[in-house]
Amino acid sequence: MTTPHPLDRPVWASLTTHHEPFAAGGALARRYRAEYNVFAGQSDESPEALAALAALVGPGEQVCIAQAMPVVVPPGLTVHKSLQGVQLTAPAALDVPDGVEPLVALTERDAPEMFALARLTEPGPFASRTHALGRFLGIRIDGRLAAMAGERFRFPGYTEVSAVCTHPDFRGRGFARRLTAAVTAAIHQRGERAFLQAWKTNTPAITLYQSLGFEIRAEMSVCVLVRATPV
């Protein structure tokens, strides 16, 4: 049997390595603690691993699975939402576009604004402590956080570019392009390779990433699972 590439199960790869301190679960299945994000993963599709995944989801909770292989729903859980995504990987070298506005490192004190911007623009799941998963850069206009991008899943050799978003008041200025390129370049500078994920239907985002040199590696199955309601 061929061993899956870590990129095929990026959540599991992350939770069992660099992001283990943010994890709940054990040897067969893990999830991020709720304050960090809603993603979960398991080692494989064995009955034991699926049962361990189901045990991590309490009443009223939900988890999101994102992987290259089809999602097998564990007994006791049900699908709340199912979508298709794509995973893209970056080239070895990537130019950062010039711009007038400086790119600033975002810190803990910026967390409330980061959370508010993510809630407004919905770049993907973003919880109150998602900003702590990696390095984030932003652009401020007259003191306001106009745009940001940062890191989410991380495991040996790879880091995901995530939460690329721009406030509606500041779109059309190339901020997403600059921030995506800058975050990617920083990942490469530390000897890792950048990847990112987008909804398959989000053509504008995919076009942007491809124009920077990203290439589609795989389609991703994304499912939001909740505990089944007893009949």
Q: Read off the pLDDT of residues 157-167 as tens digits, 9 standing for 90 and up.
A: 999 999 999 99
pLDDT at 231 over 60: no
Q: What is the pLDDT of residues 69-110, one digit of tens each?
A: 999 999 999 999 999 999 999 987 788 888 899 999 999 999
- Which residues, 6+ apart, have CB-to-CB distance to 73 below 8 Å? 79, 223, 225
How many Å apart are CA 196 and CA 176, to the nearest integer?
Answer: 13
DSSP of 120-180, one letter per residue? HH--S---TTGGGGS-EEEEEETTEEEEEEEEEEEETTEEEEEEEEE-GGGTTSSHHHHHH
Ordered structural domains, the chain, with CATH: 6-84+220-227 (3.40.630.30), 88-217 (3.40.630.30)
Give start and end residues of each alpha helix (H) in 45-130.
47-55, 111-121
Q: Which two tokens stand for residue 77?
A: 């859980």
Residue 2 reports pLDDT greater than 70: no
